[in-house]
A and B are shown apart, each in its own frame.
Chain A
Amino acid sequence: MRPQPDETLIRRYLLGDLPESEANSLEQQYFTDGEVFEQAWAVENDLVDEYVAGRLASDDRGRFERHYLASPRHRERVANARALRAAALGAGQPPARTSRQSSRSWAIPGPGWAVAAVVLLAVVAGWLSRSRPSDTRQAAGRPAETATMAPGVDPVAPALPPPESPSASRARPTVTLTFALSPILVRGSSPSPELRISPGTEEILLQLEGDGSEAPVGRGRQLTATVRTVEGKPIWKGEARVASAASHPNRLATVRLPAARLPPGDYILALSVADAPRREADLRKYYFRVVR
């Protein structure tokens, strides 16, 4: 039985960089050996994913664009891969790569980032003022980066401590983790934050960022938060507390929900306001991922 081909060889084949005789030999292999075929298919998907993530070396990237993307079908495949990546990751670089992103950062412009940067500064300032152990992994420009800590490190960095104000590291009746979420202004233009919920967490406090002037005023105008999976399955619905525009101009509301309601997965939180009996109008949506 012939050994499986080296993946480098398959990559060169897919990038049009293999001499014809070697290409023919590889084709003979994957036609007669199903394992080799699966391997070649996987290498293709990896190449596409690496391109979409901006991780192809420049030589390979050039070949990929000249050869692979010459096919309209392949261009469709790349576009689909980008959409799938966005769905799986929330359109952003995963938190673990954020701190290494400095020289290869794909700067993501847009108002969401300006809001997120202000929020992050406020969060860090509040956190430092509470004399918590410093955590410098909150990379600037990442919304809700409070959620993305090293394993075992408490992800809480609250700017607004909950009334009972426990940190997750101290034993208290209710263990609350706080996360700041920025709204997704255009789907795919901002990353969805990852909420890393540590064991023992009982409650999640979500600080929903946005233009504070959008918060409803007036009697009877309640804010409601509805959490659904990205597939639309309802998970939780409850009251959202309007933030004080004076003290939190960049925050719309806060929401408390039981941590147990959020198994690992992707969620959408819709903030809505009741503007008439039994009628709600959507204000903002927030995408987030729960990781445990």
Chain B
Amino acid sequence: MPSKRSFERLSAGALARLLDRLGPDHERAAAAYEALQRTLVKFFDWRGARSPEECADETLDRLARKLDEGKPVDDVKSFALGIARLVLLEHWRRPEARMVPAEEANLEDLAAPEPPEDLPRHVCLERCLKELPREARDLVLQYYVSEGRSKIDNRRRLAVTQGLTDNALRSRVQRVRDRLERCIAKCLDTKSR
């Protein structure tokens, strides 16, 4: 569903027009909105933007307004990508958007085979794993339980027992992992205060 921020920034009409273009009914439109938002966040993330969620929200805001203004748009997703590229360019012009180059970042901890004990993160991960539904928790742990050659066999076996295709399993695990990452970020943020 559109974020609270979207609701606050957009007029009801603009949002309704956007959802109309995304799906024939409320349920499908909401799912399509979520998918578009996820894609935009990843686009900005993969392009190295510092605040992908904000950039994605900005893109959706502009998209909704353009549609509300009556701009003729054939393909909403392609149009969204065009807006996203513009938002990205504007983002890079801002001084605070500068990334810390890898040389300046302390990569030793990440690259070392056994980095220093990252206790708060482990604690947060355990907590976040406990918050997951058991099925999701077991799924994500079993998915990453093996490596190398046995990884593929293990995942295929897991897909079969779950009644999923390999791709569907992968998608499901990605979402659980994404949820974990957000939970850990929130937990670490709480701990650092």
Contact = CB atoms under 8 A, between A and B. Distances in A.
The number of chain A residues touching the other chain, given as a range, is 35 or more
B65 to A, nearest CB: 19
Q: Helix, strand, loop or mixed for chain A's interface?
A: helix
Interface residues of B, number: 59
Given A31-B39, A37-B39, A86-B122, A54 B167 contact: no
Given A34-B35, A85-B144, A97-B147, A80 B81 contact: no
B83 to A, nearest CB: 11
Q: Helix, strand, loop or mixed for chain B's interface?
A: helix
B110 A42 contact: no
A55 B134 CA distance: 30
B54 to A, nearest CB: 12
Contacts of A53: 147
Interface of A: 13-14, 27-28, 30-32, 34-35, 37-38, 40-42, 44-45, 49, 53-54, 65-67, 69-80, 82-89, 91, 93-94, 96-97, 106-109, 186-189, 230-232, 265-266, 289
Interface in B53-107: 75, 77-78, 80-81, 99-102, 105, 107
Contact of B171 (A38, A70, A109): A38
Contact of B117 (A49, A93, A187): A187
Nearest to B32: A34
B48 interface: yes
Nearest to A62: B102
B125 A87 contact: yes
A37 B145 CA distance: 25
